[in-house]
Structure 1
Amino acid sequence: MNTPLRRLSLVVVTMFLALMVGTSWVQFVQADALNNDSRNVRTLYREFGNPRGPIIVAGTPIAWSEPVDDAFGYQRIYAPGAMYSNVTGFYSIVNGRTGIESAENDVLTGSSDSLFLSRIQDLITGKQPQGSSVELTLNPAAQQAAWDALGDQVGAVVALDPTTGAVLALVSTPGFDPNSLATHDTAAASTAYKDLNAAANDPLVDKAISGKTYPPGSTFKLVTAAAALESGQYSADTVLAAPDVLSLPQTTATIGNYGGASCGSGGQTTLSDALRVSCNTAFAQLGMDLGADALREQAEKFGFSTPLSIPMKVTESYFPPNEDLDPAKLAKSAIGQQDVRTTPMQMAMVSAAIANGGKVMTPYTVATVRTADLDVISETEPSVFSTAISAGTASTLRDMMVSVVDSGTGTAAKIPGVQVAGKTGTAETTAEQSPHAWFTGFAPANDPKVAVAVIVEHGGSTGNEATGGKVAAPIAKAVMQAVLGQ
């Protein structure tokens, strides 16, 4: 064989090998990823051609599929759309899927491995395949209360059952209408997505758990107080330095108290009273005394810096590393400012841990998955996420938080006949913007049924006059009352 033929043969063999390797790679290695890619039109036709399972709250569907006379076969319907939009997300021909629609897609479509026997049975009997239903943990009264109380303000509410971790309310405002994205009119769906993406206040961002994090402000004083109590060197009655103005080391900067107020007589106060009136100077000094390691370790025990899915991904909360913390920055971090960032979910977990004797239960939104024949495929069993603090520390913090609501900054969260524990927060952002308003707490204090966290961005309708006690505490009260049936 002459040289040109040998070269040609080598090229042909190489091309065949490349073709075989490429085909094998696509068919075997990439098959699952390609099949589940939301941009795969064949996947869309296959999924839309079968009834997708409903998403259910308290026995009532909030998302379901209805037969339609078009190429896809079934149309996804959401009602009431906006109030649950950050939970359900959307399932769209052109825009993919988010929320529960994404996180539980395999069971909603009936393609989950756990449904293998059901698929075999459908194949044998000739029955049309159907997706499974996903039953959520949400309390519709609490969800409605949170939605109504936030109103036109931008913010979020998370409510948890502190003893199980079940999510009772998960609201982000402004919401959006998932039906506008689920329409089979691809041009309209694309336009709706572009409009929502460009809209003010990020309606597509779930502010309760992901997409952005916030300075927690004075709600972080719960973490600082927990670190102090856990150290064994402090009690609720320990006297702390509480000057009207605290000069920060290695800088000309100072920290003052809200409105220039004094925290106690003679420049001193107790740890309990410092939390009750939310004394900035006392907690800033306490943070410097405890040190960065103690604050960070305590924050991480509550869940900071730890991945979490509920099953939607929760953005990790953040406490800065030592190299980023000089004494002045540490003082600011101890009162939830500087570079500390968190989600409403995380702050609800802090309150829930205190309510639950120090144990953080793993938050979850999916209670049960059932087949179309109502057979249970899976049920979520409560599990311990971490032990954040001792039972003794939790008891002390609970009493301190009760004083916040009884006679401190959180009196707007009082519920007649119910003892409420809480902590307010007013988190500074930039000089040009009003502070965020926070509240986190639980009720009843002696037998907790609900833990809650509320944020209202930039003070909501109150603006520069906003405080956590004035703006966020009444929202938390409404949600707790809804859970307690009041």
Structure 2
Amino acid sequence: MNTALRRLASVVVIMFLALLAGTTWVQFGQASALNNDSRNVRTLYREYGKPRGPIIVAGQPIAQSTAVDDPFGFQRSYSQPELYSTVTGFYSVVNGGSQLERSMNDVLTGQADSLFWQRMQALITGAQPQGSSIELTLDPAAQQAAVDALGGQQGAVVAIEPSTGKILAMVSTPGFDPNALATHDTTAASSAYQQLLGAEGDPLRNSTTSDNYPPGSTFKLITAAAALESGDYTAETQVPAPDTYTLPGTQTQLPNFGGSSCAATGQMSLADALRISCNTAFAELGVDLGDDAIREQAERFGFDSADLTVPMRVAESTYPAELAPDRTALSAIGQESVRATPIQMAMVSAAIANGGTLMSPYLVQTVRTADLDVVSEAKPSELSEAVSAGTAQQLTDMMLGVVQSGSGTSAQISGVQVAGKTGTAQTGRDGEAPHAWFTGFAPADDPQVAVAVIVQNGGDAGSEATGGRVAAPIARAVMQAVIGQ
């Protein structure tokens, strides 16, 4: 009998310990996952039952929580949604969140580690917990200029302050209205979300950071930088510039844009080759420099890095590995498998404008509590030394030539020196119009803004598009807005 009782007691103890372990695991080990599970309605009530911090541009909220008479208590509302949806994204009861609403969620809800003492103070005093505000670096005039200049075309614009890395404009078109997703009418919110998922141009995506494209001739800035950094070339070095170039190891002829001739003599200076965007010159230059030299230079500008956040994660811009010489030739002119995000190409111009120093781009300037106490404030930080100061100056002079008398004259601003580079990138898909690119900065003698523009598939110009014709005027409008011209 005693043996049976001992066995029963042992089973009871084991069951009790199993229950204790299971309860402990659920309450502590799985607490974070359960709290953040989208199916956990209590999490939604907890988040919506207190004011979510506002997102602020130039002192004005572009996203904020307003009190509503329903079980949630507060609803997200967005002002000027078509202007800022690229940046704010959306915050929805049924569809989650995107962009800043997602990447800064812990701050906006007041749950970030940096806000621990504010939460403790609210707990002790019995005050209503509130999220913190985030103040952005955006320039409203530049943002508006980018939206207006893109018009109904699908594309993206990024503008950066070269000396700090502040993002002054971030626009991806088409935009959307986050208010339609923020409604507490779950049926309406789900319907609006599905419509946006199927909409032309994928408006829910932020193309400035999430998508990469063949950069076309804007990549020639990196090939030129590699040449100058090698010490074997200057802006005035004569380089071969034939009417066509036979890709090494093949019978394939690479022509210049539109079948044009770059130079009657078959040679021209490196500066002139960039000025008129001579394909054959840069293809042969790329082969002479070699695959490794161009890749190393691209990486110094930020390519092949998967760690960049602004705070949204930025898709990796890539330069392909282990290329055969014929592929190197095409990569040197921004084709083949080279891919770049719009923010990456803005970073290239920003580094050149900043004397060769690439600053880390950032979008959030200040985080404040509901009592306006500063929790954190962004400080400019150096990402890399992309090129030497001497190379940066030579590239600047060469880019001035592009805008003054080359392929980028549509970016000219009266009374202001503008440095830039155009690009017309083949997509690699039959029958599809090329992407139109422009990247540059102004004023060249005192850079205040670096910009990159892509208009997908030529926009309204279609197959007739070039970077100089389509993208350069958009860049000009954004630069003018920043410098007050």
Q: TM-score, with normalisation over the residues of structure 1?
A: 0.96
- Corresponding letter in the other structure for 2:484: G
How far apart in 2 are the matches of 1:25 and 1:207? 41
The Cα shift of 1:13 comes to 6.1
How far apart in 1 are the matches of 2:3 and 2:97? 56
Kept in 2, the 8 Å contact 1:214–1:342? The answer is: yes
The Cα shift of 1:122 comes to 2.2
The Cα shift of 1:33 comes to 3.4
Deviations 1:419-457 (A, max 9, x none): 000000000012210000000000000100000000000
Q: What does residue 461 of structure 1 align with?
A: 460
Q: 1:196 to 1:6 in 2, by over 3 A?
A: farther
- Corresponding letter in the other structure for 2:423: G
The equivalences for 1:40-55 within 5 A come to: 40-55=40-55
The Cα shift of 1:15 comes to 5.3
Q: What does residue 125 of structure 1 align with?
A: 125
Q: What does residue 73 of structure 1 align with?
A: 73
- Corresponding letter in the other structure for 1:156: A
Deviations 1:390-416 (A, max 9, x none): 000000000000000000000000000
The equivalences for 1:318-337 within 5 A come to: 318-322=318-322, 325-337=323-335
Q: 1:193 to 1:12 in 2, by over 3 A?
A: farther
How far apart in 2 are the matches of 1:247 and 1:189? 56
- Corresponding letter in the other structure for 1:71: P
How far apart in 1 are the matches of 2:208 and 2:40? 30
How far apart in 2 are the matches of 1:335 and 1:223? 9
The equivalences for 1:326-475 within 5 A come to: 326-429=324-427, 430-475=429-474
Deviations 1:256-290 (A, max 9, x none): 11111111121111110000000000000011111
How far apart in 2 are the matches of 1:317 and 1:305? 6
- Corresponding letter in the other structure for 1:326: A
Q: Tell me, what secondary structure is at the counterpart of 1:209?
A: helix
Q: 1:284 to 1:376 in 2, by over 3 A?
A: same
- Corresponding letter in the other structure for 2:473: P
Q: What does residue 190 of structure 1 align with?
A: 190
Q: Tell me, what secondary structure is at the counterpart of 1:305?
A: coil
Kept in 2, the 8 Å contact 1:287–1:295? The answer is: yes
The Cα shift of 1:30 comes to 2.7
Q: 1:9 to 1:409 in 2, by over 3 A?
A: farther
- Corresponding letter in the other structure for 2:187: A
How far apart in 2 are the matches of 1:413 and 1:255? 28
Unaligned runs of 5+ in 1: none
How far apart in 1 are the matches of 2:13 and 2:423? 70
Q: Tell me, what secondary structure is at the counterpart of 1:452?
A: strand
The Cα shift of 1:29 comes to 2.5
The equivalences for 1:128-167 within 5 A come to: 128-167=128-167
Q: 1:282 to 1:90 in 2, by over 3 A?
A: same
- Corresponding letter in the other structure for 2:361: P
How far apart in 1 are the matches of 2:150 and 2:440? 17
Instruction: Say if 2:211 is the partner of 1:218.
Output: no
Q: Tell me, what secondary structure is at the counterpart of 1:314?
A: coil
How far apart in 2 are the matches of 1:268 and 1:33? 64
Kept in 2, the 8 Å contact 1:38–1:97? The answer is: no
How far apart in 2 are the matches of 1:3 and 1:251? 88
> Which stretch shows the higher mean deviation, 125-134 or 462-471?
125-134
Q: TM-score, with normalisation over the residues of structure 2?
A: 0.96
Instruction: Say if 2:228 is the partner of 1:229.
Output: yes
Deviations 1:288-318 (A, max 9, x none): 1111110111101000111200000000101
Q: What does residue 95 of structure 1 align with?
A: 95
The Cα shift of 1:37 comes to 3.9
Give me the CA root mean square deviation.
Answer: 1.7
- Corresponding letter in the other structure for 1:217: G
Q: 1:11 to 1:145 in 2, by over 3 A?
A: farther
How far apart in 2 are the matches of 1:5 and 1:477? 88
The Cα shift of 1:35 comes to 2.3
How far apart in 1 are the matches of 2:39 and 2:450? 39
- Corresponding letter in the other structure for 1:286: L
How far apart in 2 are the matches of 1:357 and 1:227? 15
How far apart in 2 are the matches of 1:434 and 1:261? 19
How far apart in 1 are the matches of 2:39 and 2:100? 18
- Corresponding letter in the other structure for 2:397: D
Q: Tell me, what secondary structure is at the counterpart of 1:406?
A: helix
Instruction: Say if 2:289 is the partner of 1:290.
Output: yes
Q: Tell me, what secondary structure is at the counterpart of 2:265?
A: helix
Q: Tell me, what secondary structure is at the counterpart of 1:369?
A: strand
- Corresponding letter in the other structure for 1:166: K
The Cα shift of 1:38 comes to 4.3
How far apart in 2 are the matches of 1:279 and 1:80? 42
Q: What does residue 485 of structure 1 align with?
A: 484
Q: Tell me, what secondary structure is at the counterpart of 2:432?
A: coil
Kept in 2, the 8 Å contact 1:65–1:74? The answer is: yes
> Which stretch shows the higher mean deviation, 7-16 or 185-194?
7-16
The Cα shift of 1:40 comes to 2.8
The Cα shift of 1:201 comes to 1.1
- Corresponding letter in the other structure for 2:97: R
How far apart in 1 are the matches of 2:166 and 2:271? 30
> Which stretch shows the higher mean deviation, 136-145 or 15-24?
15-24
Q: 1:233 to 1:66 in 2, by over 3 A?
A: same
How far apart in 1 are the matches of 2:264 and 2:5? 100
Aligned length: 483
- Corresponding letter in the other structure for 1:419: Q
Q: 1:270 to 1:10 in 2, by over 3 A?
A: farther
How far apart in 2 are the matches of 1:182 and 1:196? 13
How far apart in 2 are the matches of 1:38 and 1:298? 43
Q: What does residue 28 of structure 2 align with?
A: 28
> Which stretch shows the higher mean deviation, 433-442 or 31-40?
31-40
How far apart in 2 are the matches of 1:244 and 1:19? 80
How far apart in 1 are the matches of 2:155 and 2:207? 7
The Cα shift of 1:249 comes to 1.6
How far apart in 1 are the matches of 2:10 and 2:82? 62
Deviations 1:12-55 (A, max 9, x none): 66655544433323322332233234443211111100011100
